[in-house]
Amino acid sequence: MKSATYIERLNRPLRTYAFLFLAFLYVPVLFLPLFSFNDSLYISFPLKAFTTKWYAQMFADQPMHAALMNSLKVGVATAVFATILGVFGAKAVTRYRIPGRKPVVFTIMLPLVIPGIIMGVALLMLVSRLGIPLSLYTVTLGHVLISVPFAMAILIARFEGFDKSMEEAAADLGDNAWWTFWRVTFPIVFPGILASLLLTFTISFDEFIMAFFLSGTDPTLPIYIWSQLRFPKKLPGVLALGSVILVVSFVVVFASQWLRGRGAARISDESSEP
C-alpha cells in the first residue's frame, strides 16, 4: 500500500464528516429492520417486546408469494435482455469508429435523465394505443428500457479497460468474429457481464414507477408493497418484507460492484509492468 503524500495526508475533521455522512445514508434504512422485530402494530418508540411474528405473517402471505414470483420473472428477463443489448452496444461503440457515436450513446443513455413518470406514462400510452394489454411483459419492456443505460455504462467501462489489440491479436491468429468473441472478449469481459446481470436484476426488482404504470393485474413486489401501505394493520408485515428485500439487495449490489471494481483493478494490473 502506498503511503500518503503531503496532499493526501490524513484529515481528521473530514474523516469525521465522512463517517457522519455514511450514518446519514444508512441509519434511516436501519429503522425498517428495527421496527420489524417490534411487537407492536404501531411504528413508534418506545420499543415493545422482540418478535418474529411479522416475518412469519409475511412468509404465510400468499399474494406476497405471487408478487415475489412476478418480480423474479421480470427481474431475470430484464437482466438477460438488458445485458445482451448492453454487450452489443458497448462492443460497437468502443470497438468501431462509427460516425455519430456521441448522439447514439446519448440516445441510449437518455432514460437515465428522463423523469421516471414521463417514461412510464409515455410507454403506457404507447401500449394502450397499440392495443397491447398491460402485463408482466409490458413491465419487462419498461424495465429493459431503463436498465440498458446502466448495463451499457458498466460494459463500456469494461470494454475500454482492455485493449482492442487483444481482439485484433485473436483475429490475426486466425479466429473469426465468433471465435474471437468466445475465446477472448467474453472471458475478459465476463466480470462486467456478471456485474451487469446482478445490477440490472436489482434495478428491475426494486423498480416502482414503471411498474406502477405498466403492470396489469399481476403486481410486482414493489407494487404489492405500495398497495399494502394503505392498511395500517399490514405495516409491520411490510417492514419485515422490506427488511428482507433490503438485505438481499445490499448483498447482490455489493457483489456486483465488487466484481466490477476488482475486475477493473485486475485488468489495470495486467496491462502495467510488474
Partner 1 sequence: MSGNDAFISIQALSKHFGPVKAVDRIDMTIGGGEFFSLLGASGCGKTTLLRMLAGFETPTAGDIHIDGVSMDEVAPHHRPTNMVFQNYAIFPHLDVRKNIAYGLRVLRLGNAEVDRRVDEMLEVVKLPGFGERRSNELSGGQRQRVALARALIKRPKVLLLDEPLGALDKKLREEMQLELRALQQSLGITFIFVTHDQEEAMTLSDRIAVMADGKVLQTDTPEQLYEAPNSREVGAFIGTMNFLRGRIVALELDPETIVVEAGAAGTFRVAGTGRGRTVGDPVLVGIRPEKLSVSVTQPADGTNAIQGRFAAMSYLGDRSHYFVEVDGLDQRISVASQNDLQHLLAVGQLDFGAEIWLTWAPAGAVILAD
Partner 2 sequence: MSDTVSIAVRPAGPGRSWRSRLRALYLRSEALRGYTLLSPTLVVMAFAMVAPFTILVAMSFWTQTGFDIDTTLTLRNYQEAADAPVYRALLIRSLWISGTCAVLTVLFSYPMAYYVAFHVHRRKLVWIILMTLPFWTSYLLRVFSWKVILGYNGAINSGLKSLGLIEQPLEFLLYSPTAIVITLAHAWAAFAILPIYVSLEKIDRSLLEAAADLGDGPVARFLRVTLPLSLPGVIAASLLIFIPTVGDYITPTLVGGPDGIMIANLIQVQFGRVNDWPMGATLAILMMIVVGLISVTYIWLSRKAIERIA
For the bound state, the minimum distance from the C-beta of residue 160 to partner 1, rounded and expressed in Å, comes to: 15
Q: Taking CB within 5 to 8 Å according to partner kind, which of partner 1, partner 2, none is near residue 111?
A: partner 2
Residue 271 near which of partner 2, partner 1, none (CB within 5-8 Å, type-dependent): partner 1
Q: Choose the one of partner 2, partner 1, none that binds residue 213, judging by a C-beta under 5 to 8 angstroms depending on kind.
A: partner 2
Q: Phi and psi dihedrals of 9, rounded to 5? A: -70, 165
- Considering the complex, state which of residue 230 and residue 273 has its C-beta at the smaller distance from partner 2: 230
The window from 50-58, 162-170, 187-195, 244-252 that contacts partner 2 (CB under 8 A) reads 244-252
Q: What are phi and psi of 118, to 5 degrees?
A: -70, -45
Window 105-144: contact mask with partner 2 (x via CB under 8 A):
--xx-xxxxxxxxxx-xxxxxx--x-----------x--x
State how far the Cα of 82 lies from the Cα of 202, in Å rounded to an integer: 12
d(C-alpha 86, C-alpha 151), whole Å:
5
Q: Which amino acid is at 63?
A: P
Binding partner of residue 144 among partner 1, partner 2, none, CB cut-off 5 to 8 Å per kind: partner 2
Q: Which residues in 137-166 contact partner 1 (CB under 8 A)?
A: 162-163, 165-166
In angstroms, the CA 158 to CA 258 distance is 13
* Angle at alpha carbon of residue 262, lines to 258 and 268, rounded to 5°: 155
Contacts of 169 (CB under 8 A, 6+ apart): 184
Q: Which of residues 93-122 bind partner 1 (CB under 8 A)?
A: 97
Site for partner 1 (CB under 8 A): which residue of 67, 119, 136, 184? 184
Residue given cell 443505460 in the structure block: 149
DSSP secondary structure letter of residue 183? I
Q: Mask of contacts with partner 2, 49-78, x by CB under 8 A?
A: ------------------------------
Contacts of 108 (CB under 8 A, 6+ apart): 89, 148, 149, 152
**Cβ distance 83 to 196 under 8 Å?**
yes
Alpha carbons 142 and 169: distance in angstroms, whole number: 39
173 binds partner 1 per the rule CB under 8 A: yes
- Shortest distance, CB of residue 197 to partner 1, whole angstroms? 19
Q: Which residues bind partner 1 (CB under 8 A)?
A: 97, 162-163, 165-166, 168-176, 179-180, 183-184, 187-188, 266-267, 269-271, 273-274
